[in-house]
Chains A and B, each alone.
Chain A
């Protein structure tokens, strides 16, 4: 399965939920609605910033593959897992 075949609406977290997050350059993330806080790592931070700029999935893939040494299969798998985990933590903490 690749990301091309996936409906972005289904897999991307709620844009409003993403916008409200306070994201610090240290990787500290605070959700003012739920009161939860999180740690994201370096690549997680890149993705989160991109999502807050309303980037599309394909933009994020390109952004990551132009900076990081990763093949598209691994990238897609890890990205999918991260997005799933992100949606999950934001929506059902």
Chain B
């Protein structure tokens, strides 16, 4: 492998929220970066709440900054990134949350001009994975897809039978959240709850019984899928988030994902979620345009995908890799991190935590 290049050398990673029951991927991405053999630069964690744990974890993030919510618009977002760039000299960004991708892809050129590089899907690719276009995507992947429909009013749940929708089925937010509903009342309640948080439309999706299997990889933007790691959930929280999983080697999942990446010329990280049903069909559930929260499994399985992403950002050609070995398990647990009040104050008052200079005789 060639000598370590200088750039990117100060990477900002978003998604530093990490509530124990439902962490964002940012912290795991930062951890992979820390362990990446081809990276020794700084990591700047970006989050939206002053209590986002990743902002306060020097082990993974050298500094932490608050961002304006994507809903506050382009100007506010760019202004803030510019300030972070000035203070931390960030040279690249890895977005880790679905709701950020639209604004990030749209502003990719402006970020580039600012000196902040990204390696992420194009707007067209992003649109393709919008949750109401699953059929089209499944066509590319050569899999089936559950029946899906956009719903804009709660009345749907009371006469959906006439339209061929029979309970139970799944109610999903356009960006996030899903709930299985068994009756009109439950459906309408889920609709109101999800639309209040994530807006309209809300999606309804056929309920499938089976096992969910996931794949994460990086697309090189020219049709090639690199460094795939596949995972089956071993245990899930009551929100359906895996807190334990095991790496697997499922050829059909691999081929379907590779076909998807080839057909869409996917650029950047992705997560493919597939349901393997009892009768053996593969149903494409969704594609996420980012690394998943379980991305550390890739490092654990010896396929640290952040190394791959870095190589692509540096315009290097990642070497051919054997598929990740099956049978590597991850178990997620919560740990209490101690945060000085001064750091909390700094995040609240200034929107950042910056490292305190180390005392000279820090070890006796």
Tell yes or no: B345 within 8 A of A by CB. Answer: yes
Tell yes or no: B339 within 8 A of A by CB. Answer: no
- In the docked arrangement, what's the CA distance between A26 and B348, Å? 10
Q: Which residues of A contact B345 (CB under 8 A)?
A: 24, 26, 28, 30, 37
Determine chain A's interface SS by DSSP, over half rule: strand
Closest Cβ of chain A to B51, distance in Å, is 12
Asked if A26 and B349 sit within 8 Å, CB to CB, the answer is yes
Of listed B341, B345, B349, residue having the most chain A CB within 10 A = B345
Give the bracket for the number of chain B residues in contact with chain A: under 10
Cβ-closest chain A residue relative to B344: A37
From 45 to 80 in chain A, residues with beta carbon under 8 angstroms from any chain B beta carbon are: none
Tell yes or no: B350 within 8 A of A by CB. Answer: yes
Asked if A39 and B348 sit within 8 Å, CB to CB, the answer is yes
Closest Cβ of chain A to B335, distance in Å, is 22
- In the docked arrangement, what's the CA distance between A26 and B349, Å? 7
- In the docked arrangement, what's the CA distance between A26 and B350, Å? 9
Tell yes or no: A44 within 8 A of B by CB. Answer: no
- In the docked arrangement, what's the CA distance between A9 and B349, Å? 32
Q: Which residues of B contact A28 (CB under 8 A)?
A: 345, 348-349
Closest Cβ of chain B to A67, distance in Å, is 22
Q: Which residues of B contact A24 (CB under 8 A)?
A: 345, 349
- In the docked arrangement, what's the CA distance between A37 and B51, Å? 13
- In the docked arrangement, what's the CA distance between A37 and B350, Å? 15
Q: Which residues of A contact B348 (CB under 8 A)?
A: 28, 37, 39
Asked if B349 and A30 sit within 8 Å, CB to CB, the answer is no
Top 3 nearest A-B pairs (CB, nearest first) are A28-B345, A26-B349, A28-B349
What residues of chain B have their CB less than 8 Å away from a CB belonging to chain A?
341, 344-345, 348-350
User: Can you report 13 residue pairs joining A to B where beta carbons are below 8 Å apart?
Assistant: A24-B345, A26-B345, A26-B349, A26-B350, A27-B349, A28-B345, A28-B349, A30-B341, A37-B344, A37-B345, A37-B348, A39-B348, A39-B349
